[in-house]
Amino acid sequence: MGATTADVRRDIELTRERMSSTIAELEQKLNVVQAVRDHPWPAIALAVGVGLLLSGSGADVKAAEAAAGATRGARSRAGAALDTMVAALVTGVQQAMEERLSDWVDDVKGAIASPRRRPPAIPPRAD
């Protein structure tokens, strides 16, 4: 009637082994990547079907409306801050481009106006 310590340990060990094998089987069955590799065409068909169902349900429209309603008050404050940041960024980029262009123009002017060797002046003929 009484179970010895060795019997209890043996039962625990057997239970662990069964649980480990069951978990391994579940992991193998739930490995989506491997299932897609094994059966690519059914996976594509399933993805297309789910996409069609979701597109017909209007869930995307409902989610967009909910997000717009939740951010309605914050939009004006965040928009003003974002506008300021974008304006500062555009101004900085414009100034940097103008400076770069000005440097290029100065380089071209310097190259054009560079001193050239002139041929010696030929005195006019006294005929």
Find the mean pLDDT for residues 58-70. Answer: 75
Domain segments of the chain as ranges: 71-112
**Contact of 36 with 43, CB cutoff 8 Å:** yes
For the chain, the first-to-last Cα distance in angstroms comes to 147
Please report, to the nearest 10 degrees, the dihedral formed by the alpha carbons of residues 106, 108, 109, 110 taken in order.
90
| 11 residue type, one letter | D
Q: What is the pLDDT of residues 17-63, one digit of tens each?
A: 999 888 888 888 788 788 888 888 988 888 888 888 877 777 777 77
The residue that leads in pLDDT, 72 or 105, is 105
Please state which of the ranges 8-12, 16-20, 26-30, 116-120 shows the lowest mean pLDDT: 116-120
Q: Is the pTM of this model over 0.95?
A: no
